[in-house]
Chain A
Amino acid sequence: MKARVHVMLKNGVLDPQGEAVRHALGALGFDKVEGVRQGKVIDLDLAEGATEADVTAMCEKLLANTVIESYSIEMA
Chain B
Amino acid sequence: MKAAVVVFPGSNCDRDLAVAFEQAGFDVSMVWHKDSALPEGVDIVGVPGGFSYGDYLRCGAIAAQSPICKAVIEHADRGGYALGVCNGFQILTETGVLPGALLRNAGLKYICRTVGLQVATSDSVFTQGYNAGDVIGVPIAHHDGNYFADADTVKALQDQDRVAFTYEENPNGSVADIAGILSENRRVLGMMPHPERAADEGHGGTDGTAMFRALAGMVTAA
Binds A, one of B2-10, B100-108, B183-191: B100-108
Q: Is A14's beta carbon under 8 Å from chain B?
A: yes
Asked whether A17 lies within 8 Å of B93 as measured between CB atoms, the reply is no
Task: Give the tally of cross-chain contacts (CB within 8 A).
Answer: 39
| Chain A 59-70 interface mask (CB, 8 Å, partner B; 1/0) | 001110101100
Q: Is A16's beta carbon under 8 Å from chain B?
A: yes
For B, the interface residue count at a CB cutoff of 8 angstroms equals: 21
Binds A, one of B57-65, B77-85, B210-218: B57-65
Q: Is A41's beta carbon under 8 Å from chain B?
A: no
Query: Which residues of chain A have C-beta atoms less than 8 A from B150's C-beta?
Result: 67
* Contact A63 B57, CB 8 Å, known A13-B148, A16-B173, A68-B148: yes
* Contact A62 B57, CB 8 Å, known A13-B148, A67-B100, A67-B149: yes
Asked whether B101 lies within 8 Å of A16 as measured between CB atoms, the reply is no
- Whole-angstrom CA separation of A13 from B57 in the bound complex: 18
Asked whether B106 lies within 8 Å of A67 as measured between CB atoms, the reply is no
- Whole-angstrom CA separation of A16 from B107 in the bound complex: 7
Asked whether B103 lies within 8 Å of A68 as measured between CB atoms, the reply is yes
Q: Is A44's beta carbon under 8 Å from chain B?
A: no
- Whole-angstrom CA separation of A20 from B65 in the bound complex: 31
| Chain A 4-45 interface mask (CB, 8 Å, partner B; 1/0) | 000001000110110010000000000000000000000000
Interface residues of A (CB under 8 A from B): 9, 13-14, 16-17, 20, 61-63, 65, 67-68
Interface residues of B (CB under 8 A from A): 57-58, 61-62, 65, 93-94, 99-101, 103-108, 146, 148-150, 173
Contact sample, A vs B, 27 pairs, CB 8 Å cutoff: A13-B103, A13-B148, A14-B103, A14-B106, A14-B148, A14-B173, A16-B103, A16-B106, A16-B107, A16-B108, A16-B173, A62-B57, A62-B65, A63-B57, A65-B58, A65-B61, A65-B94, A65-B101, A67-B93, A67-B99, A67-B100, A67-B101, A67-B148, A67-B149, A67-B150, A68-B103, A68-B148
